[in-house]
């Protein structure tokens, strides 16, 4: 039984890490209806820029992070200007494709500037079991994961306040509901999109730092997006809380499935299991758990 809980908790904590990446997708999809494939590349770009600034220019981490933040905001604004603005009102899939183009561009740019070396990122958080919990219950729970979960919680709270309590948030929600109506009541669509991309850049930075310090800053960071997709479809593309709840469900169930079902079918099912699980959920609720209900009219 103790082992079960250990797996469950490890899964939930992994789920938080997935949710962190999924958040960036949600933000952009919510405000602009764009399925931003480049989110993974943004995570990689942000992490690599931070480490690059730290190692190549000898900056301290706490200086490198704000500078990267500025870079990510500029990147967001540039993306809106150069890529999205000319494509307003195009088909969803065209916009999706444009973000794939952006992915290649960012991947090339990141490695052109900083080289292809694998780098280490040390945030000063030890990735070791918390001794207190280990002594009390015999379960191994990583300190790093707990801190990551706290950071994620703060981030979600901040985003919730941004969306629900501020003027910018209202504008964001208005744009999300209906671009044209928002435009006609005088909300500057371009600004709103630029803000959303900048915020998504910030989320990518946080995700990049946490994932990067866990796995090393390397090209494979772009792959964490694959872990975020089932979270996204399960939680709903348009819901911030959905990303968290989806992350927890996906994280916990994939670990439990791998440990308890995996051995019977040869293992390695973590790659597809979350997708199948999300698919089953979708059959019941086609817009995800918390997604906006899709009403279809003729």
Partner 1 sequence: MIYREAGQYKTTYDTDTQIFPIAQDRYAMLAILLIAFIVIPFVATPYIFSAILIPFLIFSLAALGLNILTGYAGQISLGTAAFMAVGAFASYNFMLRVPGMPILLAFILGGICAAMVGIAFGLPSLRIRGFYLAASTLATQFFVVWCLTKVPWFTNNSASGVITAQQIEILGFKFDSPQEKYLLVLGIVCVLALLAKNMVRSTVGRSWMAVRDMDVAAEVIGFRVMKTKLTAFAVSSFYCGIAGALFAYCYVGTVEPEAYNLDLSFRILFMVIIGGLGSILGSFFGAAFIVLLPIVLSMIVHVTGLPNSVTSNVELMVFGGLIIFFLIVEPHGLARLWQIGKEKLRLWPFPH
Partner 2 sequence: MKLKFAKAMIVSAVAAATALTGALASAQEQFIPILSYRVGLYASGGSGFFGGAIDYFNLVNANGGINGVKISWEECETEYNATRGVECYERLKKKGGGASLVEPLGTGIAYGILDRLPTDKVPMTTLGYGRSDAANGQVFPYVFPLITSYWNQAAGMIKYLGDKEGGIEKLKGKKIVHLYHDSAYGKEPFPVLEAYEKSIGFQLIKIPVPHPGTEQNSQWLQIRQANPDYVILWGWGVMNAVAIKTAARVGFPREKMLGVWWAGSEEDTIPAGDAAKGYTTMTFNTPGNYPVIDEIRKKVYGAGKGNLSDKDRIGSVYHMRGVTAAMLWIEGIRNAQNKYGKGKVMTGEQIRWGLENINVDEKRQRELGALNMFPTIKTSCQDHEGSGAVKVQVWDGKAWKAVTPNWVTGDRAMVQKMVAESSAKYAAEKKITPACLPG
1 binds, among partner 2, partner 1, none (CB under 5 to 8 A by kind): none
Q: CA 271 to CA 275: how far, in whole Å?
A: 8
Q: CA 1 to CA 237: how far, in whole Å?
A: 35
Asked whether 38 and 80 are in contact (CB, 8 A), the reply is no
Candidate list 185, 271, 280, 286; residue touching partner 2; CB under 8 A: 271
Total binding residues toward partner 2, as defined by CB under 8 A: 48
188 binds, among partner 2, partner 1, none (CB under 5 to 8 A by kind): none
Interaction with partner 1 in 197-236: which residues (CB under 8 A)?
A: 226, 229-230, 232-233
Please tell me whether residue 283 binds partner 1 under the rule CB under 8 A: yes
Please tell me whether residue 138 binds partner 2 under the rule CB under 8 A: no
Please state the φ and ψ torsions of residue 217, each to the nearest 5 degrees: -85, 105
Asked whether 41 and 48 are in contact (CB, 8 A), the reply is no
DSSP helix, strand, coil percent of the chain (3-state; round to 5) = 80, 0, 20
Which of 65-73, 83-91, 134-142, 243-251 is the region at the interface with partner 1 (rule: CB under 8 A)? 83-91
In this complex, which beta carbon is closest to partner 2, that of residue 8 or of residue 67?
A: 8
Candidate list 209, 255, 278, 281; residue touching partner 2; CB under 8 A: 255
Partnered with residue 119 across adjacent β-strands are 217
Please tell me whether residue 127 binds partner 2 under the rule CB under 8 A: yes
Interaction with partner 1 in 114-133: which residues (CB under 8 A)?
A: 115-116
Please tell me whether residue 287 binds partner 1 under the rule CB under 8 A: yes
Sign of CA dihedral 231, 198, 206, 148: negative
Close Cβ partners of 164 (under 8 Å, ≥ 6 residues apart): none
CB of 131 to partner 2, least distance (A): 11
What beta strand segments (E) does the chain contain? none
Question: What are the b/e assignments for 124-140, b being 16+ CB within 10 Å?
Answer: ebeeeebeebeeeeeee
Candidate list 269, 275, 282, 287; residue touching partner 2; CB under 8 A: 269
Structure tokens at 207: 């995700």
CB of 258 to partner 2, least distance (A): 4
Site for partner 2, rule CB under 8 A: 3, 6-7, 10-11, 13-14, 17, 107-108, 111, 115-120, 122, 127-129, 140, 142, 144, 211, 214-220, 223-224, 227, 254-255, 258-259, 262-263, 266-272
């Amino acid at each position: 039984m103790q082992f079960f809980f250990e797996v469950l908790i490890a899964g939930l904590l992994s789920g938080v890490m997935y949710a962190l990446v999924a958040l960036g997708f949600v933000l952009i999809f919510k405000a602009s209806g764009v399925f931003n494939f480049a989110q993974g590349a943004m995570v990689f770009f942000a992490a690599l820029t931070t480490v690059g600034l730290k190692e190549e220019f000898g900056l301290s981490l706490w200086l490198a992070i704000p500078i990267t933040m500025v870079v990510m905001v500029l990147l967001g604004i540039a993306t809106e200007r150069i890529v999205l603005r000319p494509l307003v009102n195009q088909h969803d899939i065209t916009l999706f494709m444009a973000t794939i183009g952006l992915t290649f561009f960012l991947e090339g740019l990141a490695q052109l500037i900083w080289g292809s070396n694998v780098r280490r990122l040390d945030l000063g958080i030890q990735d070791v079991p918390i001794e207190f919990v280990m002594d009390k219950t015999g379960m191994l729970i990583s300190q790093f994961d707990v801190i990551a979960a706290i950071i994620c919680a703060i981030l979600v709270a901040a985003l919730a306040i941004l969306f629900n309590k501020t003027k910018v948030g209202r504008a964001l929600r208005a744009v999300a509901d209906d671009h044209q109506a928002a435009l006609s009541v005088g909300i500057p669509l371009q600004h709103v999109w630029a803000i959303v991309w900048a915020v998504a850049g910030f989320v990518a930075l946080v995700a990049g730092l946490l994932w990067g310090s866990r796995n090393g800053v390397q090209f494979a960071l772009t792959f964490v997006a694959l872990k975020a997709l089932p979270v996204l479809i399960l939680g709903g593309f348009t819901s911030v809380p959905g990303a968290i709840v989806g992350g927890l469900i996906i994280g916990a169930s994939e670990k439990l499935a791998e440990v308890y079902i995996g051995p019977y079918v040869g293992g390695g099912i973590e790659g597809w299991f979350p997708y199948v699980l999300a698919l089953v959920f979708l059959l019941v609720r086609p817009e995800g758990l918390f997604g906006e209900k899709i009403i279809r009219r003729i």
